[in-house]
Chain A
Amino acid sequence: DAGITQSPRHKVTETGTPVTLRCHQTENHRYMYWYRQDPGHGLRLIHYSYGVKDTDKGEVSDGYSVSRSKTEDFLLTLESATSSQTSVYFCAISEGEGDEQFFGPGTRLTVL
């Protein structure tokens, strides 16, 4: 299995609070991604990174920001969490553009 960990695995927070999710990889892959998964919507791309300090927006980026200060870590931040951001968040990595992606175990976030 690809070495991808996500932390925390579960989080409950209140509306308006900031939240940061962490993705850590040991594969030295260039690309990293954050998705959210919701019933009936499948996987939707939030942000992705194609290198250290190189990031871009995905399909559902509003309300989210990311940072990648080193190859192995990709952080997803909800500046002010809302109930609509209750979801399961998955991190993924890939070696190249359009290549197969390897997924982390997910983080279940509940915003009350």
Chain B
Amino acid sequence: AQSVTQPDIHITVSEGASLELRCNYSYGATPYLFWYVQSPGQGLQLLLKYFSGDTLVQGIKGFEAEFKRSQSSFNLRKPSVHWSDAAEYFCAVGGNGGSQGNLIFGKGTKLSVKP
């Protein structure tokens, strides 16, 4: 079955510290992978995406993610977190082999930032 797992429901980091949010997926075909961010009361904004090629992808707001096929993972990283990064983050998988051809979302990781 196709699925996305974000093992951490809530993470708290100090401002200036590094961040890694975990995402594991199960998918029957070559996956397209995405990270979205949602600020309170807002819609989802695309941070970055992986379709093919270089397994380390750069996104907006200083985020990056690394696709590791052997581990079925697509973890999101940022070297130095800012208070404005506090939000909820969603990993998603899609592709031509997806269920109904659509994206499958993880349940999200809420990030809190301590001053």
Residues of A within 8 A of B (CB): 33, 40-43, 45, 48, 50, 56, 58, 90, 92, 97-106
Say yes or no: A98 contacts B107, CB within 8 Å.
no
Instruction: Pick from B44, B102, B106: contact of A98, CB below 8 A.
Output: B102
Say yes or no: A42 contacts B96, CB within 8 Å.
no
Residues of A within 8 A of B106 (CB): 42
| CB of A70 to closest CB in B, whole Å | 21
The chain A residue sitting closest to B104, CB to CB, is A45
Say yes or no: A58 contacts B43, CB within 8 Å.
no
Chain B interface category by residue count: 20 to 34
Residues of A within 8 A of B46 (CB): 100-102
The contact sample of 21 A-B pairs, CB cut-off 8 A, is A41-B107, A42-B90, A42-B106, A43-B44, A45-B102, A58-B102, A90-B43, A97-B101, A97-B102, A98-B94, A98-B98, A100-B32, A100-B34, A100-B46, A100-B49, A100-B94, A102-B46, A103-B44, A104-B43, A105-B43, A106-B43
| CB of B37 to closest CB in A, whole Å | 11
1/0 per position for B81-105, CB-CB distance to A under 8 A? Answer: 0000000001010111110111101
